[in-house]
Amino acid sequence: MTMNIPAPNSPFRIKLALIVALMAISSAAIIVRLLPGLHAVVIAFWRMSFASIALWSYLLFKKSPFLERKSFLLMSIAGVFLGLHFAFFFTAVQKTSLANATLFGTLAPVFTTAFERLIFKKTIKKSLISGLIVGFIGTIIIQIPGFSIHNTTFLGDLSAGISSFWIAIVILISAEIRKSIDTIVFSAYLFTFASITLLIIAIILNLSIFEINQHQTFLLILLGLIPNLLGHSMLYYAIRYLSSSTVASLPLGEPLVVSTFGWILFGESVHILVLVGGSLILFGLWIIIKSSEVENIPLN
């Protein structure tokens, strides 16, 4: 009996990678909840650092590829923006409600779609726009119970929106670099430059990055391995074959996944609006992923 196993770069496996990435990235909110005593920038720094250490440890046993100067420069820029993304988003979490931060923090596909259309002159499929609209409506519905507009939270809301802009830039740069660079190599450089950026921010804010206990260290390692090493690396794998806007739309599903994790792990009640909005989010993401075209690029 012969089994038809999808090729490593088949549409099925690439889109499956997006699902795994969403689940892994969403776990960050649960792990961070168990680290209440640490500053957000410190958490982000160790998250990036442990992921970098793991990747470079693996690459020690492989032949290091030659990197062109342009690729190295673009990876460093993307890493800086990734570090800024986490710094701004965690600042938003501290200065505004989680609902506001989540809503404004998922605007990346709006920026990537605008850039692809206005700057790169790409044709945007109607199905992508439709999926984004449905997904955003679902996200808004989920956040209604905790969402509020208030002058005291404006800076937090603005920080969340800016964090979406930074990650959109990362995704657009990644889409260009990943055409010729291995996923693991790319992720290693990206996480390293992000951790350096966060270290500089920590120094500016006069934060101590070494005041962590054994329990916190274990959770930070998990944060580096699951949301980063598995989640973000899966995104950078998929972006080699899918459009930037398709990949950027993935965080729309985070509120639903986080709510589900909270219900399973902590027994938190699930508001009826989560079910309604979550259904719309899933439908929107299904439209986007189903209609996305996979480029025929050799696996790497």
Instruction: Read off the pLDDT of residues 4-19 as tens digits, 9 standing for 90 and up.
Output: 444 555 677 887 888 8
Crossing angle of helices 126-143 and 254-266, in 10° steps, is: 40
Q: What are the angstrom distances between the C-alpha of 198 and each of 1, 46, 55, 86, 215? A: 53, 9, 18, 8, 22
Instruction: Read off the pLDDT of residues 160-172 as tens digits, 9 standing for 90 and up.
Output: 889 999 999 999 9
What is the rounded CA–CA span in Å between residue 147 and residue 139?
Answer: 11
Q: Got the DSSP string for 225-270?
A: IIIIIIIIHHHHHHTTTS-HHHHHTGGGGHHHHHHHHHHHHH----
Crossing angle of helices 272-291 and 254-266, in 10° steps, is: 130
Q: Largest Cα–Cα distance of the chain, in whole Å? A: 66
Give buried/exposed letters for 142-171 (b at 16+ CB in 10 A, else e).
bbeeebeeeeebeebbbbbbbbbbbbbbbb
Q: Got the DSSP string for 154-213?
A: HHHHHHHHHHHHHHHHHHHHHHHHTTTS-HHHHHHHHHHHHHHHHHHHHHHTT--SS---
Helices (H) and strands (E) in the chain, counts: 13, 0
The one-digit pLDDT tens for each residue of the chain (300 residues) are 444 444 555 677 887 888 889 889 888 878 887 888 888 899 999 999 999 999 999 988 877 666 788 888 999 999 999 999 988 887 887 777 766 777 788 888 889 988 888 777 777 788 888 888 898 888 888 777 766 666 666 788 888 889 999 999 999 998 888 877 888 889 999 999 999 999 999 999 999 999 999 999 999 999 999 998 899 888 888 888 888 888 888 888 877 787 777 777 767 666 787 788 888 888 988 888 877 766 544 444
What is the rounded CA–CA span in Å between residue 94 and residue 75?
Answer: 29
pTM equals: 0.83
